[in-house]
Amino acid sequence: MQAAKINLRAQTGAPKWYNTFMNHLLTLGFQHSQAYPSLLTFQHNQSQIFLLVYVDDILVTGNNQEVINNILSKLHAQFNMQNLGTVHHFLGIKIQQFKDKFFLSQASYATSILTSANLTHCNPLANPSCTKLPPEVAEDTILSEPSTYRRITGSLQYLTLTRPDITYAVNVLSQHMHDPSSQHVYLLKRLLRYIRGTVDFRLPILKNQLKLTTYSDADWASDATTRKSTTGHCTFLGDTLISWAVKK
């Protein structure tokens, strides 16, 4: 898997650079993914190449290194690009490669969230949430500020890209960003203490059978005020978790 950075805006202007690059990829034989327009695929004989574009960064992988090198050389001939080689980080996500698997993690990003909340040395917890709140909740000098609550909760939403274990807890916190109470601040601090103890958790991507399996569940009118339910699902490709969501 290789990464590259494109310096295209100076040549075409900000509004046009993305369309210019995409149109050139189409002339090389790429096609847009129906699931995600910034993901393009290239197929020829037994070769299959995937190219992901995010702003001015691209990620390229596939089953034929010679074809990948040929595509990159054609792009270099047309655009001002910097080949960053084998990818180790992409959009704040650390990518560790092994012979038959990958691991994705956001340890540095999680640590920066803890630092902003002044919880880098807090005592960790074993669970990201709780089923019963204490009758009295002490004020937190940092997290009780509504703007801080919203900023940290928003940051945690990005952390769920590699941390499905905190998705439900973040969903609950996000429902009260407009007016967080002391109980919501308590739940936020619990979640941050859980992250403190699991900061090195990694999401595995394994090489195995391409069998698609989805699990889903929902409670029944768990919100006592709105009587709305909360549902969640997770989808596996073989043994690899590829999609998950929680929704009220």
On the question of pLDDT at 6 being above 80, the answer is no
Give the chain's radius of gyration (CA, Å).
Answer: 22
Examine the pLDDT at 85 and tell me if it is beyond 90.
Answer: no
> How many other CB atoms are there within 10 angstroms of residue 143's CB atom?
22
Query: Read out DSSP for 23-62?
Result: HHHHHTT-EE-SS-TTEEEEEETTEEEEEEEETTEEEEEE
pLDDT band at 164 (very low <50, low <70, confident <90, very high): very high
- Distance between CA 171 and CA 222 in Å, rounded? 14
Q: What is the pLDDT of residues 209-219, one digit of tens each?
A: 889 999 999 98
241 bridge partner residues: 236
Query: Which of 1, 5, 202, 192 minimizes the C-alpha distance to 94?
Result: 202
Domain coordinates in residue numbering, the chain: 2-87, 105-197, 208-247
Q: Which of 69-83, 172-186, 206-220 has the lowest mean pLDDT?
A: 69-83
Tens of pLDDT, residue by residue over 49-66, are 999 988 778 899 989 999
* Residue range 190-206, pLDDT digits in tens: 999 999 999 999 999 99
Lowest mean pLDDT among 4-18, 93-107, 166-180, 231-245: 4-18
* Phi/psi at 92 (5° precision): 80, 5
- Of the CA atoms within 13 Å of residue 160, those in its CB half-sphere come to 23
* Cα torsion angle, 155, 161, 166, 172, sign: positive
Contact 41, 49 (CB under 8 A): yes
pLDDT band at 133 (very low <50, low <70, confident <90, very high): confident
